[in-house]
Amino acid sequence: MLRFRYMDLIKEVKQMSTYARIIVLALVCILSPSLMWSQGGAPQGILQAWTDEGFEDIRLAIHGDTLFAQIEDHSYRGTFRGPATALRTAAEQLPELSHFELLLTEYQMPQMAVHAALADSVWTVRADYDMAAIERQLKRQRREAKSDWKVDITVFPMLSLVNNKLDHLFDWAVRLAPAVAVTPWKGGRITLQPIFPIAHRLGATDTKRCVQIGVADLRQQLLSSRLCFAEAAAGFFYPDRVGLQAKAGLHAGRNLDLYIDGGVTYKANNSPSHGFGVVRNSRLINAMAHADYYEAYTKLQIELQGGRFLYGDYGGRLDVTRHFGEYAIGLYGILTGGEHNAGFHFAIPFGGKRQKRTKAVRLRLPEYYAMEYSMQSFFKYWEENMGQSFATLPDQNRAAHYWEPRFVEEYIQRILNGNFK
């Protein structure tokens, strides 16, 4: 490893003539940056390797035996495969380094810090929300492989089943919902998702028979720090709502989030048969408080929420979800307005483990296929739309965008040490 010893250099320079000092100091000014960055062939080597892997919004700095870096992963499924690949590649490109401080971003906003060390071919990894130190080290570094205005077209399959009919077993519909999404600026995400019917058995008045708007909104992540997070969305939400929705909360611990979300929405006409627009006098206000806890040993995510559901009923919902790596399978129960409901949900891998974005526009499959089944066996619960909510993201489920430190660190470490594929 080539490094300048500045104190020795100063002593040597003091003994030189004036002209020699000028020449040496000029050479130091010219060569010092490149020599300091030449450790192990980085940063151009690691920058090229990460770009080849499909990482974007890359920033790099090396201090001593530590690499400080930022990446955004638009290639690998989930929240842990990309960081694990980035760390392995960095260790191969920079064998003289033993510590790696990695800042993970989503839509250019920081989400999590990963602190990794390699000793005797064994990795130790810790993840948390303490991102400020890495951000300070990278403050002056230029962002490479920018993600601004790159377009993802993700084709979501949608299957709807309703079994509350008396004359036949199911009403059903198969639809395709391609979502066009772009990040125009830091923290922003613009999404437009039409829904096209493919095949169905539906009543004549069911709007699922028609082309619809699923999600057409602007989401903006406003804050993401060690303690706090906040985001907001405005536009069409799925299903059949248009308005504003916001979320803000605290990282109360590495595995506990406390937050509130709420908004104002209107009933939306979102199919050609009814015309696109807002139904008058249909304003609804929703507000919920959440506690989201991850128990690392059992890999259970426990979420308790309570407040005002979409159609004005007050109550609570409990979700218990088991994470099996990239699979998330859970049960839920709802108690609201004197009525109760229950069901299950799952999110399973659907697209490939890696879907690299090589051009400005990418056509892809979703990372996960998600579904939620609702029992709704009580007529009053169904008739009065109790316990209802909506989605502001096309891929809103419990596997995608899951930035839980204990979960992420476990699977990064298992991949790096060869215990997970």
* Amino acid letter, 170: F
Whether 413 is in a domain gets the answer no
Q: Are residues 27 and 76 in the same domain?
A: no
In sequence order, the β-bridge partners of residue 190 are 182, 218
User: Looking at the domain assignment, is residue 156 inside a domain?
Assistant: no
Residue 208 has what DSSP assignment? G
Contact between 237 and 389 (Cβ < 8 Å): no
Q: Please indicate, yes or no, if residue 64 is contained in any of the structural domains.
A: yes
Residue 40 has a pLDDT of 37
Q: Which domain covers residue 110, as residue numbers?
A: 39-146
pTM to 2 decimal places: 0.87
Residues 140 and 89 in one domain: yes
Check residue 25 and give its pLDDT: 58
Is 351 within a domain? yes
Averaged pLDDT score across all residues of the chain = 89
- How remote is the C-alpha of 316 from its chain's centroid? 26
CB neighbours of 64 closer than 8 A, spacing ≥ 6?
A: none
Instruction: Specify whether 135 is located in the same domain as 182.
Output: no
Co-location of 229 and 119 in the same domain: no
CB 200 within 8 A of CB 170: no
Answer positive or negative: Cα dihedral of 411, 415, 417, 421: positive
Which own/partner pairs from 79-82 qualify as long-range (CB within 8 Å, at least 24 positions apart)?
79/104, 79/112, 79/401, 79/402, 79/403, 79/407, 79/408, 80/407, 80/408, 80/411, 80/412, 80/415, 81/353, 81/354, 81/415, 82/55
Q: Which of 328, 408, 321 is nearest to 370 (CA)?
A: 328
- The verdict on residue 415 lying in a domain is no
pLDDT of residue 270: 65
- Domain boundary at 146, 175, 210, which? 146
Distance from chain centroid for Cα 188: 13
Buried b (16+ CB within 10 A) or exposed e, 364-402: eebbbbbeeebebeeeebeebebbbebbbbbbebbbbeb
Tokens representing 418 are: 């060869």
Report pLDDT digits (tens) over 134-155. 999 999 999 999 999 999 999 9
Does residue 1 sit within a domain?
no
State the pairing for strand pair 284-295/277-278. unpaired
Contact 102, 131 (CB under 8 A): no
The reply to whether 116 and 171 lie within a common domain is: no
Q: How far is it, in rounded angstroms, from Cα 86 to Cα 67?
A: 12
Shared domain check, 55 and 31: no
- The answer to whether residues 75 and 32 belong to one domain is no
343 and 373 belong to one structural domain: yes
Does residue 227 sit in the same domain as residue 306?
yes
- Most distant CA pair in the chain: distance in Å? 102
Q: Are residues 213 and 129 in the same domain?
A: no
Q: In the chain, how many domains are there?
A: 3
DSSP 256-286: EEEEEEEEEEEEEE-STTT-SEE-TT--EEE
The Cα angle at residue 216 between residues 157 and 265, in degrees rounded to 5: 115
Q: Is residue 418 part of a domain?
A: no
Please tell me the predicted confidence (pLDDT) of residue 31.
47
Rounded Cα distance between 285 and 306, Å, is: 14
DSSP character string of 87-131: HHHHHHH-TT--EEEEEEEETTEEEEEEEEEEETTEEEEEEES--
Same domain, 248 and 390: yes
Residues of the chain with pLDDT under 70: 1-43, 164-168, 270-276
Contact of 152 with 182, CB cutoff 8 Å: yes
Q: Which of 284, 340, 344 is nearest to 315 (CA)?
A: 340
How far from the centroid of its chain's Cα atoms is residue 331's Cα?
23
Q: Is residue 151 situated within a structural domain?
A: no
Alpha-carbon distance of 162 to 382, in angstroms, equals 12
Residues 178 and 133 in one domain: no
Nearest to 389 by CA among 300, 301, 306: 306
Residue 29 CB: number of other CB atoms within 10 A? 9
Residue 83 to residues 136, 144, 177, Cα–Cα distance (Å) = 20, 17, 29
- β pairing state of 241-253 and 228-237: antiparallel
pLDDT in tens, 163-209: 766 666 778 899 999 999 999 999 999 999 999 999 998 888 788 88
Look at residue 32 in the predicted model and tell me its pLDDT: 47
DSSP string, 19-42: HHHHHHHHHHHHHHHHHHT-GGGT
